[in-house]
Amino acid sequence: MSRPCRAEGGAGPQSFDVAVLGAGAAGMFCAGVAGQRGARVVVIDHAAQPGEKIRISGGGRCNFTNVDAGRLERYAGSEPRFARHALRAYLPKRFLELVARHRIPWHEKHRGQLFCDDSSLRIVRMLREEAESGGVAWRLGCRVHGVRRADPGEGGFEVDTDAGVVRTRSLVVATGGLSIPKTGASDLGYRIARQFGLRIVETRPALVPLTFDAADWAPFGALAGVALEVDIAAPAQPDAPRFREDLLFTHRGLSGPAVLQISSFWRPGTPLEIDLAPARRLEQVWIDAQPEARQQLATLLAASLPRRLAALWVERFGANHPGVRPETRVAEVGKRALRELAGSVQRWELHPSGTEGYRKAEVTSGGVATAALDPRTMQAREVPGLHFVGEVVDVTGWLGGYNFQWAWSSGFAAGMAV
Ligand code: FDA
Protein backbone atom coordinates (compact mmCIF):
# COMPACT_ATOMS: atom_id res chain seq x y z
CA MET A 1 0.00 0.00 0.00
CA SER A 2 2.98 2.30 0.25
CA ARG A 3 3.60 1.78 -3.50
CA PRO A 4 3.49 4.98 -5.51
CA CYS A 5 0.08 5.90 -6.80
CA ARG A 6 -0.63 4.62 -10.30
CA ALA A 7 -2.85 6.74 -12.51
CA GLU A 8 -4.31 4.38 -15.09
CA GLY A 9 -6.60 5.78 -17.73
CA GLY A 10 -4.35 8.83 -18.05
CA ALA A 11 -3.03 11.19 -15.38
CA GLY A 12 -5.16 13.77 -17.25
CA PRO A 13 -6.99 16.63 -15.63
CA GLN A 14 -7.62 16.18 -11.91
CA SER A 15 -11.17 17.26 -12.34
CA PHE A 16 -14.03 14.76 -12.55
CA ASP A 17 -17.79 14.55 -12.37
CA VAL A 18 -17.60 11.68 -9.90
CA ALA A 19 -14.87 10.47 -7.55
CA VAL A 20 -15.46 7.06 -6.02
CA LEU A 21 -13.46 6.26 -2.89
CA GLY A 22 -12.89 2.49 -2.74
CA ALA A 23 -12.35 0.04 -5.60
CA GLY A 24 -14.28 -2.78 -3.95
CA ALA A 25 -17.54 -4.38 -5.03
CA ALA A 26 -19.80 -1.35 -4.56
CA GLY A 27 -17.29 1.25 -5.74
CA MET A 28 -16.27 -0.49 -8.96
CA PHE A 29 -19.86 -1.31 -9.82
CA CYS A 30 -21.03 2.25 -9.17
CA ALA A 31 -18.13 3.66 -11.22
CA GLY A 32 -19.04 1.47 -14.21
CA VAL A 33 -22.70 2.50 -14.09
CA ALA A 34 -21.87 6.22 -13.81
CA GLY A 35 -19.13 6.05 -16.47
CA GLN A 36 -21.39 4.29 -18.96
CA ARG A 37 -23.96 7.04 -18.46
CA GLY A 38 -21.33 9.52 -19.65
CA ALA A 39 -19.92 10.86 -16.37
CA ARG A 40 -16.17 11.41 -16.05
CA VAL A 41 -15.33 9.09 -13.16
CA VAL A 42 -12.22 8.37 -11.11
CA VAL A 43 -11.86 5.51 -8.62
CA ILE A 44 -9.35 6.00 -5.82
CA ASP A 45 -8.11 3.19 -3.56
CA HIS A 46 -5.09 2.79 -1.32
CA ALA A 47 -4.85 -0.91 -2.22
CA ALA A 48 -2.65 -1.82 -5.15
CA GLN A 49 -5.30 -4.11 -6.66
CA PRO A 50 -9.06 -3.56 -6.87
CA GLY A 51 -11.64 -5.98 -5.52
CA GLU A 52 -9.47 -7.76 -2.96
CA LYS A 53 -12.45 -8.96 -0.90
CA ILE A 54 -14.18 -10.22 -4.00
CA ARG A 55 -11.05 -12.23 -4.78
CA ILE A 56 -11.03 -14.00 -1.40
CA SER A 57 -14.80 -14.36 -1.14
CA GLY A 58 -16.74 -17.60 -1.27
CA GLY A 59 -13.58 -19.69 -0.85
CA GLY A 60 -12.16 -18.10 -4.05
CA ARG A 61 -15.37 -18.62 -6.04
CA CYS A 62 -17.36 -15.56 -4.95
CA ASN A 63 -20.93 -16.17 -3.85
CA PHE A 64 -21.90 -13.12 -5.90
CA THR A 65 -25.64 -13.09 -5.18
CA ASN A 66 -28.56 -15.21 -3.99
CA VAL A 67 -31.81 -16.00 -5.78
CA ASP A 68 -33.56 -14.59 -2.69
CA ALA A 69 -31.37 -11.48 -2.41
CA GLY A 70 -34.27 -9.22 -3.36
CA ARG A 71 -36.06 -10.14 -0.10
CA LEU A 72 -35.89 -7.33 2.40
CA GLU A 73 -36.10 -9.58 5.47
CA ARG A 74 -32.68 -11.01 4.55
CA TYR A 75 -31.06 -7.69 5.53
CA ALA A 76 -30.54 -6.18 8.98
CA GLY A 77 -30.03 -2.55 9.96
CA SER A 78 -31.59 0.16 12.10
CA GLU A 79 -34.15 0.96 9.39
CA PRO A 80 -35.21 -2.40 7.96
CA ARG A 81 -37.05 -0.91 4.97
CA PHE A 82 -34.24 1.35 3.80
CA ALA A 83 -32.74 -1.19 1.37
CA ARG A 84 -36.05 -1.81 -0.42
CA HIS A 85 -35.75 0.80 -3.20
CA ALA A 86 -32.22 -0.06 -4.18
CA LEU A 87 -32.85 -3.82 -4.10
CA ARG A 88 -35.98 -3.47 -6.23
CA ALA A 89 -34.28 -1.21 -8.75
CA TYR A 90 -31.42 -3.68 -9.22
CA LEU A 91 -32.44 -7.29 -8.53
CA PRO A 92 -30.22 -10.40 -8.61
CA LYS A 93 -31.52 -11.26 -12.08
CA ARG A 94 -29.99 -8.04 -13.47
CA PHE A 95 -26.62 -9.00 -12.07
CA LEU A 96 -27.04 -12.48 -13.56
CA GLU A 97 -27.68 -10.90 -16.98
CA LEU A 98 -24.39 -9.03 -16.61
CA VAL A 99 -22.58 -12.21 -15.56
CA ALA A 100 -24.06 -13.96 -18.62
CA ARG A 101 -22.93 -11.15 -20.94
CA HIS A 102 -19.39 -11.68 -19.66
CA ARG A 103 -19.76 -15.44 -20.20
CA ILE A 104 -18.91 -16.26 -16.58
CA PRO A 105 -20.05 -19.79 -15.74
CA TRP A 106 -21.83 -20.13 -12.40
CA HIS A 107 -23.83 -22.62 -10.37
CA GLU A 108 -26.40 -22.58 -7.60
CA LYS A 109 -25.48 -24.14 -4.28
CA HIS A 110 -27.20 -24.53 -0.94
CA ARG A 111 -30.17 -22.15 -0.35
CA GLY A 112 -30.06 -20.14 -3.54
CA GLN A 113 -26.39 -19.15 -3.25
CA LEU A 114 -24.85 -18.43 -6.66
CA PHE A 115 -21.11 -19.00 -7.13
CA CYS A 116 -18.63 -18.74 -10.01
CA ASP A 117 -17.70 -22.17 -11.39
CA ASP A 118 -14.02 -21.34 -11.57
CA SER A 119 -12.65 -18.19 -9.93
CA SER A 120 -13.87 -15.06 -8.19
CA LEU A 121 -11.31 -13.17 -10.28
CA ARG A 122 -13.79 -13.44 -13.15
CA ILE A 123 -16.09 -11.07 -11.23
CA VAL A 124 -13.23 -8.65 -10.50
CA ARG A 125 -12.28 -8.65 -14.19
CA MET A 126 -15.91 -8.13 -15.21
CA LEU A 127 -16.24 -5.09 -12.94
CA ARG A 128 -12.98 -3.67 -14.28
CA GLU A 129 -14.10 -4.15 -17.87
CA GLU A 130 -17.46 -2.56 -17.17
CA ALA A 131 -15.71 0.41 -15.55
CA GLU A 132 -13.25 0.69 -18.41
CA SER A 133 -16.01 0.66 -21.00
CA GLY A 134 -17.31 3.70 -19.14
CA GLY A 135 -13.88 5.37 -19.46
CA VAL A 136 -13.25 5.26 -15.70
CA ALA A 137 -9.82 6.47 -14.51
CA TRP A 138 -8.02 4.60 -11.72
CA ARG A 139 -5.88 5.85 -8.90
CA LEU A 140 -4.71 2.65 -7.23
CA GLY A 141 -2.12 2.38 -4.45
CA CYS A 142 -3.20 5.94 -3.72
CA ARG A 143 -3.77 7.18 -0.20
CA VAL A 144 -6.58 9.59 0.61
CA HIS A 145 -5.47 12.25 3.07
CA GLY A 146 -8.77 14.03 3.44
CA VAL A 147 -11.82 15.46 1.70
CA ARG A 148 -13.41 18.88 1.90
CA ARG A 149 -16.08 20.90 0.18
CA ALA A 150 -14.77 22.86 -2.79
CA ASP A 151 -15.20 26.65 -2.84
CA PRO A 152 -18.79 27.50 -1.84
CA GLY A 153 -19.54 29.09 -5.21
CA GLU A 154 -18.46 26.02 -7.18
CA GLY A 155 -20.09 23.24 -5.15
CA GLY A 156 -18.53 19.80 -5.20
CA PHE A 157 -15.60 18.39 -3.27
CA GLU A 158 -11.83 18.21 -3.21
CA VAL A 159 -10.03 15.01 -2.32
CA ASP A 160 -6.41 15.22 -1.14
CA THR A 161 -4.54 12.16 -2.39
CA ASP A 162 -0.99 10.93 -2.99
CA ALA A 163 -1.61 11.88 -6.61
CA GLY A 164 -2.54 15.46 -5.77
CA VAL A 165 -5.90 17.15 -5.34
CA VAL A 166 -8.85 15.61 -7.20
CA ARG A 167 -11.80 17.94 -7.78
CA THR A 168 -15.21 16.39 -8.23
CA ARG A 169 -18.86 17.33 -8.47
CA SER A 170 -20.05 14.15 -6.70
CA LEU A 171 -18.23 12.04 -4.14
CA VAL A 172 -19.21 8.39 -3.64
CA VAL A 173 -17.84 6.81 -0.48
CA ALA A 174 -17.48 3.05 -1.02
CA THR A 175 -14.73 2.26 1.47
CA GLY A 176 -16.47 -0.77 3.02
CA GLY A 177 -16.37 -1.85 6.67
CA LEU A 178 -13.65 -2.74 9.15
CA SER A 179 -13.51 -6.48 8.53
CA ILE A 180 -10.25 -8.15 7.52
CA PRO A 181 -7.85 -5.21 7.94
CA LYS A 182 -5.17 -6.94 5.87
CA THR A 183 -7.33 -6.51 2.75
CA GLY A 184 -7.19 -2.72 3.13
CA ALA A 185 -10.20 -2.12 5.39
CA SER A 186 -10.19 1.25 7.15
CA ASP A 187 -12.52 3.64 8.93
CA LEU A 188 -12.19 6.35 6.26
CA GLY A 189 -15.85 6.17 5.24
CA TYR A 190 -17.06 6.63 8.81
CA ARG A 191 -14.70 9.57 9.33
CA ILE A 192 -15.98 11.28 6.19
CA ALA A 193 -19.57 10.69 7.29
CA ARG A 194 -18.91 12.25 10.71
CA GLN A 195 -17.04 15.16 9.14
CA PHE A 196 -20.21 16.04 7.19
CA GLY A 197 -22.47 15.61 10.23
CA LEU A 198 -23.86 12.13 9.53
CA ARG A 199 -24.42 9.75 12.43
CA ILE A 200 -22.70 6.37 12.62
CA VAL A 201 -24.64 3.42 14.04
CA GLU A 202 -22.22 1.62 16.32
CA THR A 203 -20.14 -0.84 14.28
CA ARG A 204 -19.66 -4.50 15.26
CA PRO A 205 -18.05 -7.54 13.67
CA ALA A 206 -20.78 -9.65 12.03
CA LEU A 207 -20.92 -13.00 10.23
CA VAL A 208 -18.19 -13.94 12.68
CA PRO A 209 -17.32 -16.98 14.86
CA LEU A 210 -18.27 -16.68 18.54
CA THR A 211 -15.89 -17.33 21.44
CA PHE A 212 -16.38 -18.49 25.05
CA ASP A 213 -14.64 -18.17 28.36
CA ALA A 214 -11.61 -20.50 28.12
CA ALA A 215 -12.45 -22.47 31.29
CA ASP A 216 -16.11 -22.95 30.30
CA TRP A 217 -15.15 -24.05 26.83
CA ALA A 218 -12.33 -26.44 27.78
CA PRO A 219 -14.45 -29.63 27.57
CA PHE A 220 -15.91 -28.63 24.19
CA GLY A 221 -12.52 -27.69 22.72
CA ALA A 222 -11.90 -31.42 22.27
CA LEU A 223 -14.79 -31.45 19.78
CA ALA A 224 -12.99 -29.05 17.38
CA GLY A 225 -13.88 -30.11 13.84
CA VAL A 226 -17.23 -31.71 14.77
CA ALA A 227 -20.07 -30.31 12.62
CA LEU A 228 -23.83 -30.87 12.68
CA GLU A 229 -27.06 -29.24 11.55
CA VAL A 230 -28.77 -27.22 14.29
CA ASP A 231 -31.48 -24.66 14.89
CA ILE A 232 -30.00 -21.54 16.43
CA ALA A 233 -31.66 -18.47 17.94
CA ALA A 234 -30.81 -15.32 19.91
CA PRO A 235 -33.85 -15.25 22.21
CA ALA A 236 -33.03 -11.85 23.74
CA GLN A 237 -33.36 -10.22 20.28
CA PRO A 238 -37.02 -10.35 19.30
CA ASP A 239 -36.32 -9.47 15.66
CA ALA A 240 -33.63 -12.12 15.20
CA PRO A 241 -34.62 -14.95 12.88
CA ARG A 242 -34.09 -18.60 13.81
CA PHE A 243 -31.61 -20.28 11.48
CA ARG A 244 -31.31 -23.95 10.55
CA GLU A 245 -27.76 -24.35 9.31
CA ASP A 246 -24.55 -26.24 10.07
CA LEU A 247 -22.63 -25.50 13.27
CA LEU A 248 -18.93 -26.19 13.72
CA PHE A 249 -17.08 -26.69 17.02
CA THR A 250 -13.69 -24.93 17.14
CA HIS A 251 -10.92 -24.80 19.76
CA ARG A 252 -12.12 -21.39 20.98
CA GLY A 253 -15.86 -21.61 20.42
CA LEU A 254 -18.41 -22.05 17.65
CA SER A 255 -18.39 -21.31 13.94
CA GLY A 256 -20.06 -22.59 10.77
CA PRO A 257 -22.94 -20.94 8.85
CA ALA A 258 -25.42 -21.25 11.77
CA VAL A 259 -23.18 -19.29 14.12
CA LEU A 260 -22.06 -16.75 11.50
CA GLN A 261 -25.72 -16.02 10.72
CA ILE A 262 -26.80 -15.57 14.34
CA SER A 263 -23.67 -13.55 15.20
CA SER A 264 -25.14 -10.62 13.24
CA PHE A 265 -28.04 -10.50 15.73
CA TRP A 266 -26.38 -11.64 18.97
CA ARG A 267 -25.43 -8.95 21.52
CA PRO A 268 -22.76 -9.32 24.25
CA GLY A 269 -24.18 -10.48 27.58
CA THR A 270 -27.17 -12.26 26.00
CA PRO A 271 -27.64 -16.01 25.49
CA LEU A 272 -27.92 -18.21 22.42
CA GLU A 273 -30.32 -21.12 22.22
CA ILE A 274 -29.40 -24.14 20.13
CA ASP A 275 -31.38 -27.22 19.20
CA LEU A 276 -28.73 -29.84 18.47
CA ALA A 277 -31.19 -32.31 16.91
CA PRO A 278 -33.70 -30.10 15.08
CA ALA A 279 -35.02 -32.79 12.76
CA ARG A 280 -36.38 -34.98 15.60
CA ARG A 281 -38.43 -34.56 18.78
CA LEU A 282 -36.20 -36.61 21.07
CA GLU A 283 -38.71 -36.85 23.88
CA GLN A 284 -41.10 -38.64 21.56
CA VAL A 285 -38.43 -40.87 20.09
CA TRP A 286 -37.01 -41.81 23.49
CA ILE A 287 -40.11 -42.13 25.61
CA ASP A 288 -43.16 -42.68 23.43
CA ALA A 289 -41.36 -45.00 21.01
CA GLN A 290 -39.70 -46.92 23.90
CA PRO A 291 -36.14 -47.46 22.76
CA GLU A 292 -34.27 -50.71 23.30
CA ALA A 293 -33.88 -50.93 27.09
CA ARG A 294 -30.37 -52.41 26.94
CA GLN A 295 -29.06 -49.59 24.72
CA GLN A 296 -26.42 -47.34 26.31
CA LEU A 297 -27.35 -43.68 26.65
CA ALA A 298 -24.40 -42.48 24.53
CA THR A 299 -25.45 -44.89 21.75
CA LEU A 300 -29.05 -43.71 22.01
CA LEU A 301 -27.95 -40.10 21.64
CA ALA A 302 -25.49 -40.93 18.86
CA ALA A 303 -28.46 -41.80 16.66
CA SER A 304 -29.17 -38.04 16.63
CA LEU A 305 -25.77 -36.39 17.28
CA PRO A 306 -22.18 -36.99 16.14
CA ARG A 307 -20.72 -39.79 18.32
CA ARG A 308 -18.05 -37.65 20.08
CA LEU A 309 -20.60 -34.99 20.95
CA ALA A 310 -23.10 -37.59 22.16
CA ALA A 311 -20.57 -39.16 24.56
CA LEU A 312 -19.47 -35.78 25.93
CA TRP A 313 -23.07 -34.65 26.28
CA VAL A 314 -24.12 -37.62 28.43
CA GLU A 315 -20.95 -37.31 30.50
CA ARG A 316 -21.68 -33.66 31.27
CA PHE A 317 -25.35 -34.41 31.92
CA GLY A 318 -24.18 -37.05 34.42
CA ALA A 319 -22.37 -34.40 36.45
CA ASN A 320 -25.79 -33.22 37.71
CA HIS A 321 -27.51 -36.63 37.58
CA PRO A 322 -25.73 -39.13 39.82
CA GLY A 323 -25.51 -42.59 38.30
CA VAL A 324 -25.90 -41.36 34.69
CA ARG A 325 -22.86 -42.13 32.52
CA PRO A 326 -22.39 -42.62 28.77
CA GLU A 327 -22.47 -46.41 29.22
CA THR A 328 -25.57 -46.37 31.47
CA ARG A 329 -28.39 -48.40 29.92
CA VAL A 330 -31.75 -46.83 29.03
CA ALA A 331 -33.56 -49.21 31.42
CA GLU A 332 -31.50 -47.86 34.33
CA VAL A 333 -32.73 -44.26 34.04
CA GLY A 334 -36.21 -43.02 34.67
CA LYS A 335 -38.46 -41.22 32.18
CA ARG A 336 -37.85 -37.96 33.97
CA ALA A 337 -34.09 -38.11 33.42
CA LEU A 338 -34.62 -39.09 29.78
CA ARG A 339 -36.95 -36.14 29.33
CA GLU A 340 -34.37 -33.81 30.89
CA LEU A 341 -31.62 -35.23 28.68
CA ALA A 342 -33.80 -34.66 25.60
CA GLY A 343 -34.54 -31.10 26.76
CA SER A 344 -30.84 -30.34 27.31
CA VAL A 345 -30.09 -31.37 23.70
CA GLN A 346 -32.98 -29.45 22.18
CA ARG A 347 -32.63 -26.28 24.24
CA TRP A 348 -28.91 -25.78 24.85
CA GLU A 349 -28.57 -22.30 26.32
CA LEU A 350 -25.10 -20.86 26.18
CA HIS A 351 -23.42 -17.53 26.76
CA PRO A 352 -20.70 -16.49 24.32
CA SER A 353 -18.05 -14.22 25.82
CA GLY A 354 -17.36 -12.43 22.53
CA THR A 355 -16.52 -12.81 18.85
CA GLU A 356 -13.36 -13.49 16.87
CA GLY A 357 -13.47 -9.79 15.95
CA TYR A 358 -12.87 -7.91 12.71
CA ARG A 359 -9.87 -10.14 11.93
CA LYS A 360 -12.28 -12.99 11.14
CA ALA A 361 -15.61 -11.20 10.51
CA GLU A 362 -16.99 -11.39 6.96
CA VAL A 363 -18.73 -8.07 7.38
CA THR A 364 -19.22 -5.07 9.68
CA SER A 365 -22.71 -4.35 10.91
CA GLY A 366 -23.73 -0.80 11.74
CA GLY A 367 -22.23 2.10 9.79
CA VAL A 368 -23.56 5.27 8.19
CA ALA A 369 -27.07 5.81 9.59
CA THR A 370 -29.61 5.31 6.82
CA ALA A 371 -31.98 7.96 8.19
CA ALA A 372 -29.61 10.56 6.77
CA LEU A 373 -29.51 8.99 3.27
CA ASP A 374 -31.99 9.09 0.39
CA PRO A 375 -32.80 5.40 -0.26
CA ARG A 376 -33.21 5.99 -4.02
CA THR A 377 -29.84 7.65 -4.60
CA MET A 378 -27.75 6.88 -1.46
CA GLN A 379 -27.12 10.63 -1.26
CA ALA A 380 -26.75 12.33 2.12
CA ARG A 381 -29.96 14.35 2.46
CA GLU A 382 -28.16 17.39 3.89
CA VAL A 383 -25.01 17.20 1.75
CA PRO A 384 -25.82 17.33 -1.97
CA GLY A 385 -23.33 15.35 -4.02
CA LEU A 386 -22.13 13.09 -1.18
CA HIS A 387 -23.19 9.41 -1.52
CA PHE A 388 -22.45 6.29 0.54
CA VAL A 389 -22.74 2.77 -0.91
CA GLY A 390 -22.01 -0.82 0.08
CA GLU A 391 -20.92 -2.09 3.45
CA VAL A 392 -20.07 1.35 4.88
CA VAL A 393 -23.84 1.88 5.16
CA ASP A 394 -25.87 0.45 8.06
CA VAL A 395 -27.29 -2.43 6.00
CA THR A 396 -26.03 -5.97 6.68
CA GLY A 397 -27.10 -8.97 4.67
CA TRP A 398 -27.35 -12.58 5.73
CA LEU A 399 -24.60 -14.99 4.82
CA GLY A 400 -25.05 -16.36 1.30
CA GLY A 401 -24.49 -13.67 -1.35
CA TYR A 402 -26.70 -10.98 0.19
CA ASN A 403 -23.87 -8.58 0.98
CA PHE A 404 -22.58 -8.54 -2.56
CA GLN A 405 -26.13 -7.97 -3.81
CA TRP A 406 -26.32 -4.96 -1.49
CA ALA A 407 -23.04 -3.70 -2.97
CA TRP A 408 -24.40 -4.05 -6.53
CA SER A 409 -27.85 -2.58 -5.73
CA SER A 410 -26.63 0.37 -3.68
CA GLY A 411 -23.80 1.01 -6.16
CA PHE A 412 -26.33 1.01 -8.99
CA ALA A 413 -28.61 3.46 -7.15
CA ALA A 414 -25.77 5.95 -6.69
CA GLY A 415 -24.31 5.29 -10.15
CA MET A 416 -27.64 6.23 -11.76
CA ALA A 417 -27.94 9.39 -9.64
CA VAL A 418 -24.51 11.01 -9.81
P1 FDA B 1 -15.11 -3.58 0.02
O2 FDA B 1 -14.53 -3.96 1.31
O3 FDA B 1 -15.32 -4.64 -1.02
O4 FDA B 1 -14.26 -2.43 -0.68
C5 FDA B 1 -13.80 -1.31 0.02
C6 FDA B 1 -12.61 -0.73 -0.72
O7 FDA B 1 -12.27 0.51 -0.10
C8 FDA B 1 -11.39 -1.62 -0.64
O9 FDA B 1 -10.86 -1.83 -1.93
C10 FDA B 1 -10.43 -0.85 0.25
O11 FDA B 1 -9.07 -1.03 -0.09
C12 FDA B 1 -10.88 0.61 0.01
N13 FDA B 1 -10.52 1.48 1.11
C14 FDA B 1 -10.79 1.30 2.43
N15 FDA B 1 -10.25 2.28 3.15
C16 FDA B 1 -9.62 3.13 2.27
C17 FDA B 1 -8.85 4.31 2.42
N18 FDA B 1 -8.59 4.82 3.63
N19 FDA B 1 -8.36 4.89 1.31
C20 FDA B 1 -8.58 4.36 0.09
N21 FDA B 1 -9.29 3.22 -0.12
C22 FDA B 1 -9.81 2.61 0.97
N23 FDA B 1 -20.31 -11.41 0.63
C24 FDA B 1 -21.11 -12.11 -0.19
O25 FDA B 1 -22.18 -11.61 -0.55
N26 FDA B 1 -20.72 -13.34 -0.66
C27 FDA B 1 -19.53 -13.91 -0.30
O28 FDA B 1 -19.17 -14.99 -0.79
C29 FDA B 1 -18.71 -13.22 0.62
N30 FDA B 1 -17.56 -13.76 1.07
C31 FDA B 1 -16.75 -13.07 1.90
C32 FDA B 1 -15.56 -13.65 2.35
C33 FDA B 1 -14.71 -12.94 3.17
C34 FDA B 1 -13.45 -13.58 3.69
C35 FDA B 1 -15.04 -11.60 3.53
C36 FDA B 1 -14.12 -10.78 4.39
C37 FDA B 1 -16.22 -11.03 3.11
C38 FDA B 1 -17.09 -11.75 2.29
N39 FDA B 1 -18.29 -11.20 1.85
C40 FDA B 1 -19.11 -11.94 1.03
C41 FDA B 1 -18.67 -9.82 2.18
C42 FDA B 1 -18.33 -8.90 0.99
O43 FDA B 1 -16.98 -9.12 0.63
C44 FDA B 1 -18.52 -7.43 1.36
O45 FDA B 1 -19.81 -7.23 1.89
C46 FDA B 1 -18.34 -6.54 0.13
O47 FDA B 1 -17.03 -6.71 -0.38
C48 FDA B 1 -18.58 -5.08 0.48
O49 FDA B 1 -18.31 -4.30 -0.65
P50 FDA B 1 -17.83 -2.78 -0.50
O51 FDA B 1 -17.48 -2.35 -1.87
O52 FDA B 1 -18.77 -2.02 0.29
O53 FDA B 1 -16.48 -2.89 0.37
Instruction: Assess whether pLDDT exceeds 90 at residue 308.
Output: yes
Instruction: Assess whether pLDDT exceeds 60 at residue 8.
Output: no
Mean pLDDT of the chain: 94
pLDDT at residue number 287 = 79
Distance (Å) from CA 172 to ligand 1 centroid:
15
pLDDT classification of 36: cutoffs 50, 70, 90: very high
Compute how many other C-beta atoms are within 10 angstroms of the C-beta atom of residue 270: 14
pLDDT at residue number 2 = 37
Q: What is the helix (H) or strand (E) element at residue 121, kind and residue range?
A: helix 121-133
Residues with CB under 6 A from ligand 1: 21-27, 45-47, 52-53, 56-58, 62-63, 144, 174-176, 179-180, 184-186, 188, 362-363, 390-392, 401-404, 407
Nearest to 260 by CA among 205, 222, 217, 314: 205
Q: Which atom of ligand 1 is nearest to the CA of 51?
A: 9
Distance (Å) from CA 225 to ligand 1 centroid:
28
Nearest to 23 by CA among 15, 12, 32: 32
Higher pLDDT, 255 or 331: 255
Edge-to-edge strand order for the sheet containing 243-249?
Answer: 348-350, 272-275, 227-233, 243-249, 253-255, 210-211, 354-355
CA distance 140 to 180: 19
* Strand pairing category for 243-249 and 200-206: unpaired
CA distance 182 to 52: 10
Average pLDDT over residues 131-150: 97
83 burial level (CB within 10 Å; 0-12, 13-18, 19+) = buried
Compute how many other C-beta atoms are within 10 angstroms of the C-beta atom of residue 195: 14
22 contacts 169 by C-beta, under 8 angstroms: no
Q: Which percentage of the chain shows pLDDT scores above 70?
A: 96
Q: Which atom of ligand 1 is nearest to the CA of 175?
A: 7
Average pLDDT over residues 36-54: 97
Print burial letters for 147-167: b (CB count within 10 Å at least 16), e (below 16): bebeeeeeebbbbebbbeebb
pLDDT at residue number 1 = 35
* Strand pairing category for 75-76 and 396-397: antiparallel
Compute how many other C-beta atoms are within 10 angstroms of the C-beta atom of residue 347: 13
Distance (Å) from CA 309 to ligand 1 centroid:
36
pLDDT at residue number 143 = 96
Compute how many other C-beta atoms are within 10 angstroms of the C-beta atom of residue 267: 10
Instruction: Assess whether pLDDT exceeds 50 at residue 3.
Output: no
Instruction: Assess whether pLDDT exceeds 80 at residue 230.
Output: yes
CA distances from 183 to 248, 272, 360 (A): 25, 31, 12
pLDDT classification of 238: cutoffs 50, 70, 90: confident
Helix/strand/coil (H/E/C) assignment for every residue in 303-358: CCCCHHHHHHHHHHHHHCCCCCCCCCEHHHCCHHHHHHHHHHHHCEEECCCEECCC
Instruction: State the amino acid at position 315 in one-letter form.
Output: E
Distance (Å) from CA 289 to ligand 1 centroid:
52
CA distance 343 to 315: 15
Least confident of 192-206, 269-283, 289-303: 289-303
CA distance 368 to 382: 14
Helix (DSSP H) and strand (DSSP E) numbers for the chain: 13, 22
Q: Which atom of ligand 1 is nearest to the CA of 188?
A: 18
pLDDT digits (tens, 9 = 90+) for 76-103: 999 989 999 999 999 999 999 999 999 9
Nearest to 148 by CA among 92, 204, 192: 192
Can you tell me whether residue 86 is helix, strand or coil? helix
ipTM of the complex: 0.99
Q: Which atom of ligand 1 is nearest to the CA of 62?
A: 28
Can you tell me whether residue 129 is helix, strand or coil? helix
Can you tell me whether residue 101 is helix, strand or coil? helix
Ligand 1 atom 10, closest CA: 184
Rounded to a whole number of angstroms, the distance between the first and last alpha carbons of the chain is 29
pLDDT classification of 147: cutoffs 50, 70, 90: very high
What does 7-56 look like in DSSP terms, one character per residue? EET-S--SEEEEEEE--SHHHHHHHHHHHHTT--EEEE-SSSSS-HHHHH
Q: What residues form DSSP beta bridges with 170?
A: 18
Instruction: Assess whether pLDDT exceeds 90 at residue 293.
Output: no
Q: What is the helix (H) or strand (E) element at residue 411, kind and residue range?
A: helix 402-417
CA distances from 55 to 119, 143, 183 (A): 8, 21, 10
